Structure 1
Amino acid sequence: MKSSCEQCGRLTGEKEVAYICSFECTFCESCTTKMGAICPNCSGELLLRPKRLKKPLDVAKSQLKAKLFGR
């Protein structure tokens, strides 16, 4: 996930509200509203970015354990 808005540079970290298109272009809520929820890069729809409930490393560990131990 990108950590800043591609339009204004505002931080869009994991705990911030951000919008993305299907190419994961990232924009803050204010810029998304100004742009009419249309990505200026690909003309795709900007949607609310999903929140991560787990850290990426924790997910990778669980996936590796499942492959190794068949769980």
Structure 2
Amino acid sequence: MLEIRPTCENCNKKLPFDSEEAMVCTFECTYCKDCVELLQHVCPNCGGGFEKRPIRPERLLKKYPVSTTIVYKPVDIEAHLKKLRSQ
């Protein structure tokens, strides 16, 4: 079951359960669309790609609540892009 994390790991933008802006990698690292663009669609944690995070239906939130844990780990964009170029 997806955690549905509440914010972007890079910029800390709020990403509620119904956000159209939320993107996740295979390990559910969560970023907003703007940050995914900056990261050139490559997760800085695992190197995988991103997909749009599914929206959990509101009727299921009581039974399957979303995460309240904020993961805030701003990315050194320059270092990330340099690493991508060297691969």
TM-score normalised by the shorter chain: which range applies?
A: 0.7 to 0.9
Corresponding pairs, count = 58
> How does the TM-score come out when normalised to structure 2?
0.61
Where does the alignment leave 5 or more consecutive residues of structure 2 unmatched?
65-87
Q: Which of 1 and 2 has greater Rg? A: 1
Where does the alignment leave 5 or more consecutive residues of structure 1 unmatched?
59-71
> How does the TM-score come out when normalised to structure 1?
0.74
Aligned-pair identity (%): 33
Partner of 1:62: none
Q: RCO higher in 1 or 2 (8 Å CA, sep ≥ 6)?
A: 2
Runs of 4+ in 1 over 4 A off after TM superposition: none
Q: Which of the pair is proportionally richer in helix? A: 1
The Cα offsets for residues 17-69 of structure 1, whole Å up to 9 and x where unpaired, read as 200001000000100111111100000111111111242407xxxxxxxxxxx
The alignment's C-alpha RMSD in Å is 1.4
